[in-house]
Amino acid sequence: MASSAPSAPKKITWILGLTCGILGIVGHYASVSFLTEYNYVLLLVGFVVLAIGTTFREM
């Protein structure tokens, strides 16, 4: 059984993950009420979206 290599995520998946990550970083360093409150959640969501996008070819 051959193992499959990670694949590049679709463009929309990549943009969504990157946007969540950037908003999480901005929320960490700037005082924006919603972003500051959920900065770690946004970073986690961005990372998970990118991880899923590279793991599953259809995403």
pLDDT tens digits for range 10-50? 899 999 999 999 999 999 999 989 999 999 999 999 999 99
Other CB atoms within a 10 A radius of the CB of residue 3 amount to: 4
What does the pLDDT read at residue 6? 79
Distant-in-sequence, close-in-space partners of 21: CB < 8 Å, separation ≥ 6: 42, 43, 46, 47, 50
What does the pLDDT read at residue 59? 63
Chain centroid to CA 57: 16
Question: Which is more confidently placed, 37 or 3?
Answer: 37
pLDDT band at residue 3, thresholds of 50, 70 and 90?
low
CB 20 within 8 A of CB 45: yes
